[in-house]
Amino acid sequence: MLVTTKELFEQADKNNYAIPAANFFDLDSARTYVKTAERLKKPLILAFAQSHMNMMSLEEAALIGKFLAEKSTSPVALHLDHGQDEAIIKQAIDLGFTSVMIDASEDSFEENVRRSKAIADYAHPFGVVVEAEIGHVGAGDSLESEESDSIYTEFSEAVKFAEATGVDSLAVSIGTAHGHYTGTPKINFDVLQQLYEALAIPLVLHGGSSSGDENLEKCALNGIRKINIFTDFITAAMDKIREEQPENYFDLIHDANEAIAKTLEQYFNVFHTASHE
């Protein structure tokens, strides 16, 4: 069933767990995520990043996402991840995405507030949930998180930002980065605790891939309600293909999807994601 992230977050907060936001980039990845969630009776955030519009159009992503979500017996939210262009975000809302992210985290605080509030004001009359980012989750490929270009979320700024924008959830920077790590990042759980206690809206963690199961489990049990995963799915698929060395394209796709499904199942367990029943 197609739902909003607001509905999913209410249950997650009530029962203290996180929900994976799995980034899809084609029909196979989207279908594998949704089928896995349905098999395990888990809620899912099916995410499509603006940066993946070179893989499929926003219209195609909306059609695929809505079709799979509406057909599923599990609750599935269709989310636009890292929307940076207002026109693209508004188009996603018009196309039926139930959740959107405005990522103006590299702008000044004032500009981030202005842009995020504008999207919230546009989206809310349609019943669409809005996520924004304060601080900055940078690029991966770092030895340790402190060597990336991430900027920790400032407690006082986050409180002001949430009040000024009216957004529904907030992506915070507490030590993760997007992409691969060659080490395990050091998560600032003190900052997470401060943010969780001060903010009335759900917290989101970007850069979940290769952040370590122990780190992510602790985040899920201490206030993070949505954790974004992408790189780990692709890595698992490639590792499986290299291991199996399939002789034809159809076996290659099967192996890749099997690895992606197994990785999502692992993260449902790590995040303590409860059954929707």
Kindly list the catalytic residues: 81
Residue 44 sits at φ, ψ, to 5 deg, of -145, 145
Q: Whole-angstrom Cα distance, residue 97 to residue 47? A: 10
Contact 169, 129 (CB under 8 A): yes
Q: How many CB atoms lie within 10 A of CB 198?
A: 12
Per-residue burial over 129-150, b if 16 or more Cβ lie within 10 Å, else e, is bbbbbbbbbbebebeebeebeb
Count of residues making up the chain: 277
Q: Which residues are 178's β-sheet partners?
A: 139
Structure tokens at 11: 């249950």
